[in-house]
């Protein structure tokens, strides 16, 4: 068993989640403390600006280099704040751009997570596993999602089939079958567009308690145009960049809606994307367990309950911590990297065979 600290900064750009886990990469022996350190508003704005410029961004851009330094410092503070010694730190970094292979599109696949793993290892004095996605993309995989193998380990005692939905900036789902089968992919936008909408119309970083969305009505015409997006009917494997639906939202006329109706429409769109994803499962799940920040938004949860036929519940009903799962996952993935175990699979990223990945700074004693 390895003592690990998993770190995650997701597409919501809200901060760093850190979680302690004791694991051999296949089973979980102990789940320890977790915490979240938010990014300050200035850093969040800087990161959001980098996303807009990512296609043409130079690796030597001064704003990018400053953001990398500040991101790394914040991750180091999270490791230190956990207050426990660890054998290994799993450092995902911050995704700036994700361009996976797409059938019929002549693009060079690319995934870009920023953060200085060597600096993190030096400051914390711990071995750091990082760069979890690149090997998969280089082998023709989507590079995402990475958490399904953790979901499988965590949910071992639960009845299957089971669907685990994570609502971050983008939503992703893991379908787990009764014989260990895994199918996972991004379903569509989640908190990302809603956060941008709230910031634009209210000046707040997100729609707290879904109050803005609950005050509005989803626009059926805009939803209909959005549901025609080819991504939603495409078979997995498939994954998204946080901004992939920005053009579709503009073309669908979302910008013309009121603040409340726009928020309600974005919540409804998240839910209908998940419902469309469910039609791609081998068989219906017995229930949906929901993790990520979106589970705290009553408007999204209400929309999901209306769109799905099975029970929809936060992961806390299973005794899990929905704010910690992704960080915990990178603790387990770090252990798998250290042990040379596969971290991506045909059913999760579309790679041809189970594939190892990740790199390590430092040495395990």
Tokens describing residue 224: 């209909």
Q: Is 14 annotated as a binding residue?
A: yes
Q: b/e for 218-242, b at 16 or more Cβ within 10 A?
A: bbeebbebbbebebbeeebbbbbbb
| Beta-carbon count within 10 A of 135 CB | 18
Q: Omega into 129 within 30° of 0, i.e. cis?
A: no
Tokens describing residue 99: 């361009």
Q: Tell me how far apart the terminal alpha carbons of the chain are, to the nearest angstrom.
A: 13
Q: Is 165 annotated as a binding residue?
A: no
Q: Is 304 annotated as a binding residue?
A: no
Cα 64 to Cα 296: distance, rounded to the nearest angstrom = 31
Tokens describing residue 22: 């004791």
What does R_g of the chain's alpha carbons equal in angstroms? 19
Q: Is 11 annotated as a binding residue?
A: yes
DSSP 292: S
Q: Is 15 annotated as a binding residue?
A: yes
Tell me the CA distances in angstroms from 159 to 163, 195, 214, 257, one per residue in order: 11, 34, 33, 42
Q: Is 187 annotated as a binding residue?
A: no
Task: Give the 3-state secondary structure of residue 336.
Answer: helix
Cα 232 to Cα 189: distance, rounded to the nearest angstrom = 11
Q: Is 174 annotated as a binding residue?
A: no
Q: Is 17 annotated as a binding residue?
A: yes
Cβ-proximal residues to 104 (8 Å cutoff; 6+ apart), any chain: none
Contact by Cβ (8 Å): 354, 346:
yes
Summarize the annotated binding site as residue ranges: 10-17
Summarize the annotated binding site for ATP as residue ranges: 10-17
């Amino acid at each position: 068993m390895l003592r690990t600290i998993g770190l995650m900064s997701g597409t919501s750009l809200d901060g760093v989640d850190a979680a302690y886990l004791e694991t051999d990469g296949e089973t979980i022996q102990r789940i320890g403390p977790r915490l979240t350190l938010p990014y300050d508003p200035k850093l969040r704005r800087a990161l959001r600006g980098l996303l807009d410029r990512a296609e043409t961004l130079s690796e030597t851009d001064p704003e990018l280099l400053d953001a990398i330094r500040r991101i790394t410092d914040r991750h180091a503070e999270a490791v230190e704040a956990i207050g426990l010694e660890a054998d290994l730190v799993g450092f995902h970094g911050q995704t700036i751009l994700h361009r996976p292979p797409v059938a019929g599109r002549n693009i060079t696949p690319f995934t870009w997570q920023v953060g200085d793993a060597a600096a993190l290892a030096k400051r914390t004095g711990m071995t750091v596993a990082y760069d979890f996605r690149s090997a998969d993309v280089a082998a023709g995989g989507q590079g995402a999602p990475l958490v399904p193998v953790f979901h499988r380990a965590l949910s071992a005692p639960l009845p299957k089939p089971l669907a685990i939905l994570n609502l971050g900036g983008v939503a992703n789902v893991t379908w787990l079958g009764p014989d260990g089968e895994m199918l996972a992919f991004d379903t569509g936008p989640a908190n990302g567009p809603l956060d941008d909408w709230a910031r634009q119309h209210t000046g707040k970083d997100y729609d707290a308690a879904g109050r803005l969305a609950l005050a509005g009505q989803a626009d059926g015409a805009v939803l209909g145009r959005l549901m025609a997006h080819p991504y939603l009917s495409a078979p997995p494997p498939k994954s998204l960049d946080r901004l992939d639906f920005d053009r579709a939202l503009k073309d669908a006329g979302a910008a013309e809606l009121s603040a409340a109706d726009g928020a309600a429409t974005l919540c409804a769109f998240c839910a209908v994307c998940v419902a469309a994803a469910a039609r791609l499962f081998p068989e219906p799940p017995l229930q949906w367990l929901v993790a990520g920040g979106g589970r705290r938004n009553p408007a999204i949860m209400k929309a999901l309950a209306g769109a799905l036929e099975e029970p929809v519940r936060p992961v806390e009903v299973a005794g899990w911590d929905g704010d910690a799962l992704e960080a915990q996952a990178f603790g387990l993935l770090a252990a798998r990297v250290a042990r040379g175990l596969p971290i991506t699979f045909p059913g999760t990223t579309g790679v041809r065979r189970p594939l190892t990945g990740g790199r390590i700074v430092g040495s395990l004693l």
